[in-house]
Structure 1
Amino acid sequence: MKIGELARETGVSVRLLRYYEEQGLLDSERTPGGQRVYGPDAPAVVRRIRALLGAGLPTRVIAEVLDCVCGSEAEIEPCLNPMLVARLDAIDEKIHDLQGTRSSLAALVAVTEGRQLATAD
Protein backbone atom coordinates (compact mmCIF):
# COMPACT_ATOMS: atom_id res chain seq x y z
CA MET A 1 0.00 0.00 0.00
CA LYS A 2 1.15 3.54 -0.74
CA ILE A 3 1.71 6.16 1.93
CA GLY A 4 -1.56 7.97 1.18
CA GLU A 5 -3.53 4.76 1.57
CA LEU A 6 -1.79 4.02 4.86
CA ALA A 7 -2.54 7.53 6.08
CA ARG A 8 -6.24 7.16 5.22
CA GLU A 9 -6.51 3.73 6.80
CA THR A 10 -4.80 4.71 10.05
CA GLY A 11 -5.83 8.37 10.37
CA VAL A 12 -2.16 9.35 10.69
CA SER A 13 -0.82 12.12 8.47
CA VAL A 14 1.62 11.38 5.66
CA ARG A 15 4.13 13.68 7.35
CA LEU A 16 3.90 11.68 10.58
CA LEU A 17 4.28 8.39 8.72
CA ARG A 18 7.49 9.73 7.17
CA TYR A 19 8.67 10.74 10.64
CA TYR A 20 7.99 7.24 11.96
CA GLU A 21 10.07 5.89 9.11
CA GLU A 22 12.92 8.33 9.86
CA GLN A 23 12.86 7.17 13.49
CA GLY A 24 13.16 3.53 12.44
CA LEU A 25 9.65 2.66 13.60
CA LEU A 26 8.11 1.88 10.22
CA ASP A 27 9.60 0.18 7.16
CA SER A 28 8.81 0.72 3.50
CA GLU A 29 10.08 -0.36 0.12
CA ARG A 30 10.59 2.00 -2.79
CA THR A 31 9.06 1.59 -6.21
CA PRO A 32 11.26 2.25 -9.26
CA GLY A 33 9.61 5.69 -9.31
CA GLY A 34 10.72 6.33 -5.71
CA GLN A 35 7.31 6.04 -4.04
CA ARG A 36 7.03 4.43 -0.64
CA VAL A 37 5.17 1.14 -0.50
CA TYR A 38 4.26 -0.46 2.83
CA GLY A 39 3.59 -4.10 3.62
CA PRO A 40 0.24 -5.51 4.69
CA ASP A 41 1.22 -5.31 8.39
CA ALA A 42 1.88 -1.54 8.25
CA PRO A 43 -1.55 -0.46 9.57
CA ALA A 44 -1.13 -2.70 12.63
CA VAL A 45 2.40 -1.37 13.19
CA VAL A 46 1.15 2.23 13.01
CA ARG A 47 -1.63 1.44 15.50
CA ARG A 48 0.96 -0.08 17.85
CA ILE A 49 3.16 3.00 17.51
CA ARG A 50 0.17 5.24 18.30
CA ALA A 51 -0.77 3.12 21.33
CA LEU A 52 2.78 3.31 22.69
CA LEU A 53 2.98 7.06 22.05
CA GLY A 54 -0.38 7.43 23.78
CA ALA A 55 1.11 5.65 26.79
CA GLY A 56 3.79 8.33 26.96
CA LEU A 57 6.72 6.40 25.52
CA PRO A 58 9.15 8.45 23.43
CA THR A 59 9.99 7.28 19.91
CA ARG A 60 13.52 6.25 20.92
CA VAL A 61 12.05 3.79 23.45
CA ILE A 62 9.38 2.65 21.02
CA ALA A 63 12.11 1.84 18.49
CA GLU A 64 13.70 -0.45 21.08
CA VAL A 65 10.52 -2.23 22.14
CA LEU A 66 8.31 -2.26 19.04
CA ASP A 67 9.38 -5.78 18.12
CA CYS A 68 8.17 -6.94 21.54
CA VAL A 69 4.62 -5.78 20.85
CA CYS A 70 2.50 -8.63 19.59
CA GLY A 71 -1.09 -9.23 18.65
CA SER A 72 -3.26 -6.17 19.11
CA GLU A 73 -1.98 -2.73 19.94
CA ALA A 74 -2.25 -3.40 23.68
CA GLU A 75 -0.51 -6.77 23.87
CA ILE A 76 3.15 -6.76 24.90
CA GLU A 77 5.67 -9.39 25.77
CA PRO A 78 6.00 -9.95 29.55
CA CYS A 79 9.67 -8.95 29.41
CA LEU A 80 8.59 -5.33 28.84
CA ASN A 81 6.47 -5.16 31.98
CA PRO A 82 9.28 -4.03 34.34
CA MET A 83 10.18 -1.16 32.00
CA LEU A 84 6.55 -0.10 31.69
CA VAL A 85 6.04 -0.32 35.46
CA ALA A 86 9.12 1.88 35.97
CA ARG A 87 7.70 4.46 33.50
CA LEU A 88 4.36 4.34 35.33
CA ASP A 89 6.10 4.89 38.68
CA ALA A 90 7.97 7.87 37.24
CA ILE A 91 4.70 9.39 36.00
CA ASP A 92 3.07 8.85 39.41
CA GLU A 93 6.02 10.62 41.04
CA LYS A 94 5.69 13.57 38.65
CA ILE A 95 1.96 13.78 39.37
CA HIS A 96 2.68 13.78 43.10
CA ASP A 97 5.29 16.54 42.68
CA LEU A 98 2.92 18.61 40.54
CA GLN A 99 0.14 18.27 43.13
CA GLY A 100 2.51 19.61 45.77
CA THR A 101 3.53 22.47 43.49
CA ARG A 102 -0.11 23.25 42.76
CA SER A 103 -0.96 23.35 46.46
CA SER A 104 1.93 25.71 47.16
CA LEU A 105 0.95 28.00 44.32
CA ALA A 106 -2.70 27.96 45.34
CA ALA A 107 -1.69 28.98 48.87
CA LEU A 108 0.34 31.90 47.51
CA VAL A 109 -2.53 33.04 45.31
CA ALA A 110 -4.95 32.75 48.22
CA VAL A 111 -2.75 34.96 50.38
CA THR A 112 -2.39 37.60 47.68
CA GLU A 113 -6.10 37.63 46.94
CA GLY A 114 -7.18 37.27 50.56
CA ARG A 115 -9.12 34.11 49.86
CA GLN A 116 -8.62 30.37 49.96
CA LEU A 117 -8.65 28.30 46.76
CA ALA A 118 -9.78 24.70 46.51
CA THR A 119 -6.90 22.23 46.43
CA ALA A 120 -6.70 19.22 44.14
CA ASP A 121 -7.05 15.77 45.64
Structure 2
Amino acid sequence: MQPIDTGTMTILILIALSIGLIVGAAGGAAGARLTGQPAWKGAAVPLLSVLLPIPFLFLVRAPGPLEAMLLQLVAAVLAGFCLKLGPRGTAGSIIGAIVAVGVLVIGASLWNGLVN
Protein backbone atom coordinates (compact mmCIF):
# COMPACT_ATOMS: atom_id res chain seq x y z
CA MET A 1 0.00 0.00 0.00
CA GLN A 2 1.40 3.39 -1.02
CA PRO A 3 1.52 6.33 1.39
CA ILE A 4 -0.96 9.15 0.78
CA ASP A 5 0.63 12.36 -0.48
CA THR A 6 0.01 15.70 1.24
CA GLY A 7 -2.31 17.10 -1.45
CA THR A 8 -4.61 14.07 -1.34
CA MET A 9 -4.64 14.14 2.47
CA THR A 10 -5.58 17.84 2.45
CA ILE A 11 -8.47 17.18 0.07
CA LEU A 12 -9.68 14.25 2.20
CA ILE A 13 -9.54 16.41 5.35
CA LEU A 14 -11.52 19.19 3.64
CA ILE A 15 -14.14 16.69 2.45
CA ALA A 16 -14.44 15.20 5.95
CA LEU A 17 -14.70 18.68 7.49
CA SER A 18 -17.41 19.67 4.99
CA ILE A 19 -19.44 16.54 5.71
CA GLY A 20 -19.03 17.10 9.44
CA LEU A 21 -20.19 20.72 9.16
CA ILE A 22 -23.24 19.77 7.07
CA VAL A 23 -24.23 16.96 9.43
CA GLY A 24 -23.55 19.17 12.47
CA ALA A 25 -25.70 21.96 11.03
CA ALA A 26 -28.53 19.50 10.32
CA GLY A 27 -28.31 18.14 13.87
CA GLY A 28 -28.19 21.66 15.28
CA ALA A 29 -31.27 22.65 13.30
CA ALA A 30 -33.14 19.59 14.52
CA GLY A 31 -32.10 20.23 18.11
CA ALA A 32 -33.23 23.85 17.94
CA ARG A 33 -36.57 22.87 16.39
CA LEU A 34 -37.18 20.45 19.26
CA THR A 35 -36.90 23.38 21.66
CA GLY A 36 -39.18 25.58 19.56
CA GLN A 37 -36.47 27.75 17.99
CA PRO A 38 -35.99 28.56 14.28
CA ALA A 39 -34.04 25.90 12.39
CA TRP A 40 -31.69 28.38 10.68
CA LYS A 41 -30.47 29.66 14.04
CA GLY A 42 -29.87 26.12 15.25
CA ALA A 43 -27.94 25.30 12.08
CA ALA A 44 -25.79 28.42 12.48
CA VAL A 45 -24.55 27.51 15.96
CA PRO A 46 -22.42 24.48 14.92
CA LEU A 47 -21.07 26.38 11.90
CA LEU A 48 -20.13 29.40 13.99
CA SER A 49 -18.61 27.18 16.69
CA VAL A 50 -16.11 26.00 14.08
CA LEU A 51 -15.52 29.37 12.40
CA LEU A 52 -15.33 31.70 15.43
CA PRO A 53 -12.22 30.12 17.02
CA ILE A 54 -10.15 30.30 13.80
CA PRO A 55 -8.72 33.80 14.46
CA PHE A 56 -7.69 32.75 17.97
CA LEU A 57 -5.77 29.81 16.54
CA PHE A 58 -3.56 32.20 14.57
CA LEU A 59 -2.97 34.44 17.58
CA VAL A 60 -1.87 31.73 20.00
CA ARG A 61 -0.15 28.39 19.74
CA ALA A 62 -2.06 25.46 18.29
CA PRO A 63 -4.38 24.05 20.98
CA GLY A 64 -4.42 20.43 22.05
CA PRO A 65 -7.56 18.33 21.52
CA LEU A 66 -9.10 19.22 24.90
CA GLU A 67 -8.39 22.94 24.50
CA ALA A 68 -9.82 22.89 20.97
CA MET A 69 -13.05 21.23 22.18
CA LEU A 70 -13.42 23.72 25.03
CA LEU A 71 -12.77 26.63 22.65
CA GLN A 72 -15.41 25.25 20.29
CA LEU A 73 -17.92 24.80 23.11
CA VAL A 74 -17.40 28.38 24.31
CA ALA A 75 -17.80 29.62 20.72
CA ALA A 76 -21.02 27.60 20.33
CA VAL A 77 -22.48 29.04 23.53
CA LEU A 78 -21.51 32.58 22.45
CA ALA A 79 -23.03 32.00 19.02
CA GLY A 80 -26.25 30.71 20.56
CA PHE A 81 -26.64 33.72 22.79
CA CYS A 82 -25.68 36.17 20.02
CA LEU A 83 -28.41 34.62 17.86
CA LYS A 84 -30.81 34.97 20.83
CA LEU A 85 -31.55 31.25 20.92
CA GLY A 86 -31.67 31.25 24.70
CA PRO A 87 -30.23 28.52 26.93
CA ARG A 88 -32.61 25.75 25.83
CA GLY A 89 -32.23 26.48 22.11
CA THR A 90 -28.46 26.73 22.38
CA ALA A 91 -28.22 23.49 24.36
CA GLY A 92 -30.56 21.74 21.91
CA SER A 93 -28.49 22.91 18.98
CA ILE A 94 -25.18 21.85 20.55
CA ILE A 95 -26.54 18.45 21.64
CA GLY A 96 -28.13 17.88 18.23
CA ALA A 97 -24.86 18.65 16.47
CA ILE A 98 -22.84 16.41 18.81
CA VAL A 99 -25.28 13.52 18.34
CA ALA A 100 -25.36 13.95 14.56
CA VAL A 101 -21.57 14.08 14.19
CA GLY A 102 -21.21 11.20 16.68
CA VAL A 103 -23.55 9.04 14.62
CA LEU A 104 -21.57 9.96 11.50
CA VAL A 105 -18.26 9.00 13.15
CA ILE A 106 -19.64 5.72 14.54
CA GLY A 107 -21.16 4.88 11.16
CA ALA A 108 -17.88 5.62 9.39
CA SER A 109 -15.98 3.50 11.91
CA LEU A 110 -18.38 0.58 11.46
CA TRP A 111 -18.21 0.93 7.68
CA ASN A 112 -14.41 0.99 7.82
CA GLY A 113 -14.44 -2.13 9.99
CA LEU A 114 -16.75 -3.95 7.58
CA VAL A 115 -14.84 -2.94 4.46
CA ASN A 116 -11.35 -3.59 5.79
TM-score, reference length from structure 1: 0.31
Per residue, is there more helix in 1 or in 2? 2
Which has the higher relative contact order, 1 or 2, with Cα contacts under 8 A spaced 6 or more apart?
2
Structure (1 or 2) with the larger CA radius of gyration: 1
